[in-house]
Amino acid sequence: MPTETFEFQVEARQLLQLMIHSIYSNKDVFLRELVSNASDALDKLRLAALRDDALDADVSDLHIELEIDEEARTLTVRDNGIGMSYDEVGQLIGTIANSGTAEFLRELREAKDAAGAEGLIGQFGVGFYSGFMVADEVTLLTRRAGETKGTRWSSRGEGTYTLQEVDDAPQGTSVTLHLKPADSDNQLHDYTSVWKIKEIVKRYSDFITWPVKLVGEAAGEGDEPAEPETLNSMKALWARSRDEVSEDEYHELYKHISHDWRDPLETVQLQAEGTFEYQALLFVPSHAPHDLFTQNFQRGLQLYVKRVFIMDDCEALLPPYLRFVKGVVDAQDLSLNVSREILQQDRHILMMQRRLTKKVLASVKSMKADDAERYGTFWREFGAVLKEGLVTDSDNRDALLAVSSFATTHGEDEQVTLEQYAQRMPDEQEAVYYITGESRQSIDNSPHVEAFRERGIEVLLLTDPVDEVWVDVVGEFQGKRLQSIAKGEIDLGAQGDEKSEGEREKQAEEFAGLLGWMTEQLAEDVKEVRLSSRLTVSPACIVADADDLTPALENMYRAMGQ
Ligand code: ADP
Ligand code: MG
């Protein structure tokens, strides 16, 4: 078959340009990305072989090899994993399917300068393409396990790549980087240095569960090459005690499993002993992924059984409202053949889910108590998701309320918990008042808030769609009902309304004619026009019936297709 030349998809081309001109200062991470891909490929092959007896693949000695050729200035990362078919190479390497990367590029177009772009690379990560930070040409040779023909892919990163079918490719994938000249000004290290490669693997990939071997060179003419040296310890970090593992090691594991290049906000470890033994290492990212609220968001943890990778995105281990949590769970007594369907109903998995949920919530609680700034970040990024738990997880409702905080009329930047609200409200106040809306600004200017502000009564300002729902489900806090100030009649009489009962009746008589006329005129749009003690500045406001859907909730149901 002839060599075919293809153009990179527009987005891919942009990304490659960025890599070639490599504004990202930490170039060493290219090796982490290639080793991470190789490790994924080995996991996939081991699983495929387990599921399909007929698969014609060699799984006897799965490993990753690094090979340096000083003279040719190449570095090769080789695995004998799942490999890719001809079509897959075109799809996976030639285009950008990952939605995170699409988002990355959108932001990149808006980033004005190199520093901005560098920050973005660190945020999104670019996987395979990061090879072009250190190489001016990349060649990939691959054969999918079970297939006979292989594929060679090659590119200088400049707009086109070539594909060619080959007859004699070994199973798996090898990626060969033709290295740019080392350049200390540009932080481009000499990646033909054995010492440098060892250091990078140790730093970024030590925990990889497959051996990463450095293929030795022959010491002299005619000598046998030295035995390959395994560079990584392969120690499962989740099985080690916390004081044996450095923060950096945890962070690198996080980056491998999440494909996020930033450090996580929080690391949570759990080692459960007893009849059903398991270890978990969970991470709260420092930023919410942009697709957290979309239908196809991939949630779930990595599941291992006795150190063997079983599946990605195992949803059964955490409830949907903790879908932003990443991590690994390694169970001792599950079958290696366990399927998603079985997991959904497994009693042990359910127990694990309960315990992991409590553990995550407990760590948020201590974050809130000990580190206000970090908790602030957490709540800004994930508060809207966590609040879904107030609706769906009645067992943990109290724990969730304890870490949920809300904007309030009592301070621009202040956020309060219901507990704090209740503590400072006057004894005679009958309810916890709140108002929902699309943004703080729209609520702040709403006529509903006026009377409350005038009287110094605190109102919670709720702006997430889920707020409409949880306030109804939770209903009350410490015996005080949660009351929307935009619904039904609110009697603020006891709280500083100066008008007497008599005065109000007199007013009502005086205005009866006008109100009747207005009700008639507006019959199409409103149920009733009545006098109100809520307003101080605005002449009128629209109030929903106590059991009506509010506009925001109507929007949310509509968006959900109901
Ligand atoms: P990510 O790893 O986040 O998916 P990458 O850019 O690192 O993104 O890789 C893109 C895709 O290319 C991978 O998802 C995988 O399907 C495929 N791929 C990359 N390297 C290998 C490899 N060594 N073996 C098999 N497939 C690979
Ligand atoms: Mg990758």
Amino acid at 1: M
Under a CB-based contact definition with an 8 Å cutoff, are residues 487 and 545 in contact?
yes
Whether 201 contacts 212, CB under 8 Å: yes
Q: Taking all residues of the chain, what is their mean pLDDT, rounded to a whole number?
A: 87
530 vs 395: CA distance, rounded Å: 42
pLDDT of residue 498: 54
Nearest alpha-carbon partner for 235 in 253, 208, 255, 258: 208
- Model pLDDT for residues 129-178, shown as the tens digit of each residue: 999 999 999 999 999 999 999 999 999 998 899 999 999 999 999 999 99
Q: Residue 53: what pLDDT?
A: 87
Residue 195 has pLDDT above 80, yes or no: yes
Q: Inform me whether the pLDDT recorded for 331 exceeds 90.
A: yes
Rounded to an integer, the average pLDDT of 492-519 is 70
Q: Look at 174-183, 316-325, 369-378 and tell me which has the smallest mean pLDDT.
A: 174-183
The pick from 65, 77, 89, 92 for probing ligand 1's pocket by mutation, whose C-beta has the most ligand atoms within 8 angstroms, reads: 92
CB 477 within 8 A of CB 422: yes
**Ligand whose nearest atom lies closest to the CA of 129:** 1
Average pLDDT over residues 76-80: 98
- Per-state percent for the chain, helix, strand, coil, to nearest 5: 40, 20, 40
DSSP code string of 466-510 = THHHHHHHH-EETTEEEEETTBS----TTTT----HHHHHHHHHH
The best mutation among 40, 96, 104 to test binding of ligand 1, ranked by most ligand atoms within 8 Å of the C-beta, falls on: 40
Task: Kindly identify the ligand whose nearest atom is closest to the C-alpha of 16.
Answer: 1
Q: Which of 42-51, 416-425, 530-539 has the lowest mean pLDDT?
A: 530-539
Write down the pLDDT at residue 445: 79
List, chain by chain if needed, residues with CB within 6 Å of any ligand 1 atom. Answer: 33, 37-38, 41, 79, 81-84, 92-93, 98, 127-128, 173, 259
Q: Residue 116 belongs to what H/E stretch?
A: helix 114-124
Q: Which residues of 166-177 are buried (b: 16+ CB within 10 A; e: fewer)?
A: eeebebbbbbbb
- pLDDT-derived band at 100, boundaries 50, 70, 90: low
Condensed to tens digits (0 to 9), the pLDDT of residues 435-487 reads: 999 998 888 878 888 888 888 999 999 999 999 999 999 999 999 999 999 88
Q: pTM surpassing 0.95?
A: no
- Answer yes or no: is 94 a known binding residue: no
Residue 128 annotated as part of some ligand binding site: yes
What spacing in Å lies between the alpha carbon of 13 and ligand 2's midpoint? 18
100 is in an annotated binding site: yes
Strand pairing report for 74-79 and 64-69: antiparallel
Q: Kindly list the distances between the CA atom of residue 488 and the CA atoms of 438, 483, 484, 528, 549, in Å, as whole numbers in the listed order.
A: 20, 9, 8, 12, 12
Q: Where are the alpha helices (DSSP H) in 326-439?
A: 340-345, 347-370, 372-386, 388-392, 397-402, 418-424
Residue 354 pLDDT exceeds 70: yes
What's the pLDDT score for residue 122? 72
Model confidence at 551, pLDDT cuts 50, 70, 90, reads low
Give the lowest-confidence range in 179-183, 213-217, 529-533.
Answer: 529-533
Residues 6+ apart with CB under 8 A from 543: 448, 486, 487, 488, 532
